[in-house]
Amino acid sequence: MKNNKKSGSIDKKMITLAIKDSFKKLSPKVQINNLVMFLVYVCAILTSALFVLSLFGIKDAPSGYIFGIAVILWFTVLFANFAEAIAEGRGKAQADSLRAAKKDVLAHKIQSLDKKDKQESISSALLKKGDLVYINVGEQVPADGEVVEGAASVDESAITGESAPVIREAGGDRSAVTGGTTVISDWLVIEVTSEVGESFLDKMIAMVEGSARKKTPNEIALQIFLLALTVIFILVTASLYSFSVFSSKQAGIVNPISITSLIALLVCLAPTTIGALLSSIGIAGMSRLNQANVLAMSGRAIEAAGDVDILMLDKTGTITLGNRQASEFMPVDGHSIEELADAAQLSSLPDETPEGRSIVVLAKEKFNIRERKLNELKMEFVPFSALTRMSGVNIKDSEIRKGAADSMKEYVQNFGEIYSEECDLAVQKIAKLGGTPLVVSKDHIIIGVIYLKDIVKSGVKEKFADMRKMGIKTIMITGDNPLTAAAIAAEAGVDDFLAEATPEGKLTMIRDFQAKGHLVAMTGDGTNDAPALAQADVAVAMNTGTQAAKEAGNMVDLDSSPTKLIEIVRIGKQLLMTRGSLTTFSIANDLAKYFAIIPALFIGIYPELTALNIMRLHSAQSAVFAAIIYNALVIIALIPLALKGVKYREVPAGKLLSQNLLVYGLGGIITPFIFVKLIDMLIVAIGLA
């Protein structure tokens, strides 16, 4: 989806569609889903009915006043609909780009692996779970599946947005293929793993479009709280009406409080701002996750990511680069470091592995030993073998070898040479540092050791420090021995590590943390990760991983980047921060609007309330107009913040709460005083009051 970043932005077409959807959402069936805004919807209908009655002489208030209030209330409902529609529009744009990759193609179904030449061409829409399909070079993968035979390069750009092809092969943790991708080399036989309409792409489209979005527990809890506040304000407003009738009779005056004004008061005091934006905040949070190329299987998972306090991270590819790099030459037994560097580079010139390339570069950088041309040296390359666990070159009458310490020890001893104690000490030193020793020999004599270091990614230590500030504990998971794991954990700055990790060990650790009340997040890609992924609160499966891993997780990272877990946690926290901040702002707004309307409405009955009319609004009608206009416009003003989210900062939760209360709480109190007064002055200036 990265190739459709425009889909995450807002353009004129999206705004036009959102305006149309705003009117479509005026259906009572849609409005009832948001009870706070449903109240505004009912109030808009009531004031419209009061306006119609006023035309027939049944006047609650001047017809123009009732009409103005009704129009503003309808706009308030439309603005709330627009906020939700614009958030949904971004998801629909992403869904449209995914639908372009989803199309029926001809699939070559086979009966068994030994009868690949007997193929039946059928539509991909007719494939069923368990069917075997042969896919040749240049053909599109017709359905989600597991590779059961063959290996090929697959272009997944239609799904992930990444142009670089990936290898998919039978066995291992890179056997899953996604419908809509294209085989660009060789061939594959896959076993279909999903029924029609239930593919990974179908789920993606449903999630980003919002049709599969369900309200999260926190969202439901907040809606119940807002509903409770609304019920309280309904009772308060009803009481105020009864009180005004009684008080006006006692004072011997006509009741100055109209039903229209009380309806406007109710709408202003109800938490309509957060009620209008609540849905769009949740949709936008999921949209941000989709833009990060992560598919959440539920909104609950995004919320859980915001509350996570334990991060379990794979070492390889997450904390370290994944490719060991040569960092030092350590000569032994009187041999010079230059001789060791020269021999190490010569043995690595034909070696195309990342480790081999790094040895060549290190020799060049440290000793200015330039790369030699292989054809001029007439070298015979001895490739690495799992049996010998070494590689090297033969140059004329000279032999250079490099390999694992035990293999090299056996190699030189077979030629009657000594494996020295100094070499053994160098090997032990490297192992204690968390590195990998490569012993180098020339003409069957050990000349030194290459220190291969598992390079910790730049910036991860700072990221983990930020996580620590937020109260999140980081745990590195690795198959390394405890000594090596401890060295890398110390360098990376993680809080703890699990060495020699097994599926049972991961599962036990997660359960132990959860039993203590923690929320745990982890990543995984293999079938052996499935039990732990199923247990974790936030489980991010790699798109390149097995079907079992993807089914066990509640999120799928389309980029298959283990570091994405940190970004997911940030997005989750930003979602919770945004919801909390706008809720604070909304409730603070209600408090300020109370001082704007209540004194102005009741001054006619109780002149003493003039002291509370600190805003000095022109009249009761102008006060109501100004407050309800502000109430509608603030929804539109806050839509960009709801969609973008409150700025994320890595600070402790207590400090973050105090900052947000200061900014959004105090801001929510001050803002209405300023803008309601300005609107009141404008109303008076243009002669509407």
Annotated binding site: 351, 355, 384-391, 402, 525, 529
Residue 191 φ then ψ, to 5°: -105, 120
The pair of three-digit structure tokens given for residue 48, joined into one six-digit string = 């419209």
Quick one: 526 exposed, middle or buried, by C-beta within 10 A (0-12, 13-18, 19+)?
Answer: middle
Q: Which residues of 629-666 are buried (b: 16+ CB within 10 A; e: fewer)?
A: bbbbbbbbebbebbbebbeeebeeeeebeeebbeebbe
Three-class SS of 282-324: HHHHHHHHHHCCEEECCHHHHHHHHHCCEEEEECECCCEEEEE
Interatomic CA distance for residues 635 and 22, integer angstroms: 14
Element at 660 (helix H, strand E): helix 653-660
Angle between helices 217-251 and 564-602 (to 10 degrees): 10
Please identify which residue in the block is written with the tokens 């994320």.
648
Angle made by CA atoms 652, 655, 656, in degrees to the nearest 5: 80
For 138-192, the three-class secondary structure string (H helix, E strand, C coil) is CCECCCCEEEEEEEEEEECHHHHCCCCCEEEECCCCCCEECCCCEECCCEEEEEE
Tokens 């992924």 correspond to: 533
HSE of 416 in the Cβ direction (CA atoms, 13 Å)? 0
Torsion of CA 605, 610, 612, 615, to 10 degrees: 120
- On whether the CB atoms of residues 195 and 128 are closer than 8 A, the answer is yes
Say if CB 80 and CB 275 are below 8 A apart.
Answer: yes
3-state SS assignment for residue 477: strand
Tokens of 538: 């936030």
- Long-range residue pairs from 509-516, CB within 8 A, at least 24 positions apart, any chain: 509/312, 509/475, 510/312, 510/535, 510/536, 511/535, 513/310
Report the C-alpha gap between 135 and 145 in whole angstroms: 11
Q: Which residues pair with 329 in a beta bridge?
A: 450
The DSSP 8-state label assigned to residue 125 in this structure reads G
- Residue 390 bridge partners (DSSP): 403
Q: Which of 584, 589, 609, 585 is nearest to 598 (CA)?
A: 609
CB 447 within 8 A of CB 331: yes
Check the CA dihedral 459-464-469-470 and report its sign: positive
Residue numbering of the annotated binding site for Mg(2+): 525, 529
CA separation for the pair 478, 125 (Å, rounded): 42
DSSP character for 543? Answer: T
User: Cβ distance 452 to 435 under 8 Å?
Assistant: yes
* Bind-site residues for ATP: 351, 355, 384-391, 402
- Cβ-contact 170, 148 below 8 angstroms: yes
Roughly how many angstroms between the first and final C-alpha of the chain, as a whole number?
Answer: 53
Residue 327 burial (CB count, 10 A): 16
Q: Which ranges of 210-258 would DSSP assign to H, the alpha helix?
A: 217-251
Q: Which of 314, 342, 557, 680 is catalytic?
A: 314
Other C-beta atoms lying within 10 Å of the C-beta of residue 235? 10
Whether 589 contacts 273, CB under 8 Å:
yes
424 assigned to active site = no
Catalytic residues, by residue number, are 314
